[in-house]
Amino acid sequence: MATEALASGELTRRDLARRYTKIHRNVYVLRGTVLSPRDRAVAAWLWSNRTATVSGLSAAALLGSKWVPQNAPTELVRAQHGSPAGIRIHKDVLADDEVQVLGGIPCTTAPRTVFDIGRRLPLDEAVIRVDALLNATAIGIAAAEKVAAKYPGARNIRQLRQVLDLADAGAESPQETRVRLVLIRGGLPRPETQIPIRNAAGRIVRRIDMGWENWKVGVEYEGEQHWTNAGHYADDIDRLEYLASLGWTIVRVSAVHLAYDQPGIVNRARAALLAAGWCAEG
């Protein structure tokens, strides 16, 4: 905090004016600094004079989630409600076992953070962010369900239950979550995630993003680097040939498919499952 740095002699007022940019009252950063969601969470906590608890997506950032939107407002739980632009204040009551301290900063625990995110964001966005937090923290759905059970009348609790039903810690990117939701909503069996492929010695040599091991049908989301990077592209060829040698059929999905042809994704996956022996109900 600026007042502390000035009082200790670490900075002079001239240094502060010339080299730093004010982001909140009494909180400054070096000019040109690009703040991550975690940085902004720390800055907002300092703005609160160290009296708030970091929550929501900001808590997810502190807990190690990789997929927190850069433009999301910083979220704090604090008794006083007023806040500057970029900080969102919640006046929740937090149980003692719903708060932990990370690097000296109080923040909601991973289960409580799932509880908050799952109720506050639109459904698909909530599933994406909960997937990322589950992946980063390795907590189980049961831990979040335990928090939800304490607040049966909480706002948007029905959506939270939907989120918990759809969430999967195996998703390693927002796009993988989106693909999984497309498959589920398309009437296909719920896919397993991060399916391990083992060699003759039992060592895991590959993983498939998602799919159905019983029928050896996999679905993989392939970002732009798979199509534009020669090294990635060559590895893809080797990987697909290896999986084909083991009897796997892989349905490949790109950003274009996800944006403009979701029915096509479902149809290709359904055709692969039917060819592998799956019998669709009805």
pLDDT given for residue 80 in this prediction = 73
pLDDT < 70 regions, the chain? 224-233, 282
How far is Cα 206 from Cα 135, in angstroms, rounded to an integer?
A: 18
3-state secondary structure labels for all residues of 217-241: EEEEECCHHHHHCHHHHHHHHHHHH
Domains in the chain with CATH codes: 34-166 (no CATH), 174-275 (3.40.960.10)
pLDDT given for residue 225 in this prediction = 54
Who's near 184: CB < 8 A, 6+ residues apart? 166, 190, 191
Report the alpha-carbon angle 162-190-134, nearest 5. 55
Enter the tokens of residue 60.
Answer: 């997810």
pTM to 2 decimals? 0.91
From the number of C-beta atoms within 10 Å of its C-beta (0-12, 13-18, 19+), residue 17 rates as exposed
pLDDT given for residue 140 in this prediction = 92
Enter the tokens of residue 18.
Answer: 């010339």
pLDDT tens for each residue of 76-107 = 998 777 778 889 999 899 999 999 999 999 99
Report the alpha-carbon angle 38-40-44, nearest 5. 120
What's the mean pLDDT when you consider all of the chain?
Answer: 91
pLDDT given for residue 17 in this prediction = 81
pLDDT given for residue 239 in this prediction = 83
